[in-house]
Amino acid sequence: MAEETVNVNPDGSTTFEGGAGDESTMPPVEDAGADGAFEQAATAATGTDPLFYLVLVALALGVLFFIYYRRSKEDEDDFFTN
């Protein structure tokens, strides 16, 4: 197995030296489609915050528990009045 030396350039491209092929098999960064990837990821993350859904679910569960508690309290009162 032949050893290769890898040079990583400041732009992210790589070159291999000392191997069977002298050229890099990886495309340069500008050809890889990485231009503006961070900005695209940041704009893709916009939407409704999950905390909003958590608060809505907690509120709905609170209302359902309150209704259940009131009905069970009324049923208990009806039991002792007869």
List average pLDDT for each run of 10 residues in the chain, which is 82 residues long. Answer: 75 74 57 61 69 95 94 70 59
pTM assigned to the model: 0.38
> Residues 25, 13: contact at Cβ < 8 Å?
no
